[in-house]
């Protein structure tokens, strides 16, 4: 029989997820909140821990990530790369924001490599348009090409 503690977390859109203590420990933010509540206000742990800056769709991905991290050794499988490859641009951005908000080092580390993989596969024009760099629609000297002038002063 597993006596692992289970905690509830509630997202910005009022979705509630259950996470065991091992999954919670993957998040520095959540583990510090749980530790603080256990020390000072253990009765509050009966209520969900509020996560105001993460929505339910993204939290579902976070919970899934934590589960896979717990049951499968990332050093011997490619599940993390496969997991990240299927995320849309918006899901990946939300996932990175959630990892930053919840301080989940494994997600932060792995998404860095996924972002590099995605950028490497892009053309320079697509990178510029994704970054919304002004004046870059004419990449080869067209009418919208940005001009930068540098003036030097002689002493």
Please check whether residue 111 lies inside any domain of the structure.
Answer: yes
Distance CA(107)–CA(27), nearest Å, equals 10
Range of the domain at 19: 6-124
Does residue 93 form part of some domain? yes
Rounded CA-CA distance 18/9 in Å is: 6
Report if residue 33 sits inside a domain.
Answer: yes
- At 40-64, the pLDDT tens digits run 887 777 899 999 999 999 999 999 9
Q: Write the CB contacts of 46 (distance below 8 Å, at least 6 apart in sequence).
A: none
Q: 12 in a domain, yes or no?
A: yes
CATH of the domain at 24: 3.30.710.10
- Total structural domains within the chain: 1
Write the pLDDT tens digit of every residue in 61-105.
999 999 988 887 655 567 888 899 999 989 999 999 999 999 999
Q: Look up residue 127 and give its two tokens.
A: 């990178």
- Evaluate whether residue 102 is within a structural domain: yes
């Amino acid at each position: 029989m597993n006596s692992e503690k289970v905690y509830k977390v509630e997202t910005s859109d009022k979705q509630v997820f259950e996470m065991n203590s091992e999954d919670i420990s993957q998040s520095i933010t959540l583990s510090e909140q749980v530790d603080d509540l256990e020390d000072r206000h253990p009765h509050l742990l009966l209520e969900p821990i509020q996560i105001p800056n993460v929505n339910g769709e993204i939290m579902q991905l976070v919970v899934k990530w934590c589960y896979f991290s717990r049951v499968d050794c990332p050093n011997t499988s490619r599940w993390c790369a496969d997991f990240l490859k299927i995320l849309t641009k918006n899901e990946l951005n939300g996932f990175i924001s959630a990892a930053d908000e919840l301080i989940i080092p494994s997600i932060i580390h792995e998404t860095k490599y996924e972002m590099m993989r995605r950028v490497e596969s892009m053309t320079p024009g697509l990178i510029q348009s994704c970054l919304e760099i002004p004046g870059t629609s004419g990449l080869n000297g067209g009418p919208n090409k940005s001009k930068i002038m540098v003036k030097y002063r002689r002493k």
